[in-house]
Copies of this chain bind each other. A is one copy, B any other.
């Protein structure tokens, strides 16, 4: 992995700097506690899969303002010397607690808690939300696809219509940790070790005078794991060419691994292609499809028993088309030792440093969560763990393999009704008395 430049620290909202200016002017830098959480589940969703933590921690560890960025900030003449000095010397020195990536999670459960001097905790708000929201969104979307198509090979083909380069990269990571097999994005291989996959485009067939020659050229250039795209002109004719070509390639030690279909009625085409391949002695050649795949299409194809081995999934994954955003927040929970919560109409939240305890049934399935204050004691597994102290990680970064195993484990132990695309029950998250008491205390101390 090469060391990639992080996103500019100017990737923040101006109001963060405005507020920090006021804090620095008044010496308002006592300990603040903020938590990031999702407020509610969108329709048709029964759970989420936490993701983005490792990138969030890397952001906190490496957040620095370059000389050029400081010079630009000065040139705007918006900020006083004390703010410029603060940014020029910025190092994140706070603590972080979080739910490990790959954990199944629910609304109001904190995915990350920042404990730091107020100006620091405020500065990192925008980018932390930006990283955690999107990766959790995509991991949660990918998990639905994984659940809808057990045993199938799912690949992220979404880079081109992801919302920018970073979305494409994060989508590959988040879908892989949720159970995808790999991604087409080369950078995801270099940066995160996600297995990279790729076939060929229609243009490859079109530049050749005939399709058969295109197939042969491609197979000879890429002899390992040859996947041929067979729908440029006529899918069944394409499949028959594969049957014709296979013996000639085999004579040279080249095996065709699979074919891809990217248009038309994918299930119907796959059946016809399967029959042609089987009749031609190519029972081992797999069929991949792409184009318009989402979790509902996957479920339908599984129910119909379409002879499809793998799916390339693009924009429905990388832009999470049905639900392109969660309603989420990074909220002040405590300041200078006092619990805080907002009372804005329809947006009240639970105050304090929170913990989530999760119970499991005798069948090993998740049975219910209790949301309470960190200092409470409740039965079950405590999900929020320390991950950074004084600006340093408490342990080496988790490998993506470890996170992916956790994801698979949690998807396996979700209650059955939540594993459906239309969940017919909601997961019980109970608010403990200790947290209710803290909320009442916060409300009493709020003078408005």
- Residue numbers of A with Cβ under 8 A of B are 1-5, 7-8, 10-19, 21-22, 25-26, 28, 32, 34, 66, 68-69, 72, 76, 78, 118, 122, 125-127, 129-131, 133-134, 137, 157, 159-170, 184-187, 189-191, 196-204, 206-207, 209-211, 217-218, 220-222, 224, 231-235, 237, 262-265, 315, 319-321, 324-326, 328, 330-332, 335-336, 340-347, 446-448
- Copies of this chain: 2
**Residue in B19, B133, B233 whose beta carbon sits within 8 Å of that of A161 in the complex:** B133
When C-beta atoms are compared, the residue in chain B nearest to A1 turns out to be B72
Task: Flag if A263 contacts B217 (CB, 8 Å).
Answer: no
Least CB distance from A194 to B in Å reads: 11
Task: Flag if A448 contacts B8 (CB, 8 Å).
Answer: no
Least CB distance from A116 to B in Å reads: 13
A-B contact pairs, 24 of them (CB 8 A): A1-B72, A10-B186, A12-B186, A13-B186, A13-B198, A14-B185, A14-B197, A18-B198, A19-B200, A22-B204, A25-B220, A26-B217, A34-B203, A76-B189, A78-B224, A118-B207, A126-B159, A130-B164, A164-B165, A164-B169, A164-B170, A231-B345, A264-B344, A265-B345
**Residue in B7, B34, B66, B263 whose beta carbon sits within 8 Å of that of A345 in the complex:** B263
Considering the complex of A and B, which 7 residue pairs feature the smallest CB-CB distances, nearest first? A14-B198, A164-B166, A22-B221, A264-B345, A163-B163, A233-B448, A15-B198
Task: Flag if B203 contacts A331 (CB, 8 Å).
Answer: yes
Taken together as a complex, chains A and B put the C-alpha atoms of A415 and B386 apart, in Å, by: 59
Taken together as a complex, chains A and B put the C-alpha atoms of A342 and B26 apart, in Å, by: 66
Q: Which residues of chain B are within 8 angstroms of A19 by Cβ–Cβ distance?
A: 200-201, 203-204, 218
**Residue in B21, B137, B166 whose beta carbon sits within 8 Å of that of A165 in the complex:** B166
Q: Which residues of chain B are within 8 angstroms of A263 by Cβ–Cβ distance?
A: 344-347
Given A324-B321, A448-B237, decide whether A335 and B163 contact each other with a Cβ distance below 8 A.
no
Given A13-B160, A344-B264, decide whether A190 and B18 contact each other with a Cβ distance below 8 A.
no
Task: Flag if B232 contacts A190 (CB, 8 Å).
Answer: no
Taken together as a complex, chains A and B put the C-alpha atoms of A165 and B7 apart, in Å, by: 7
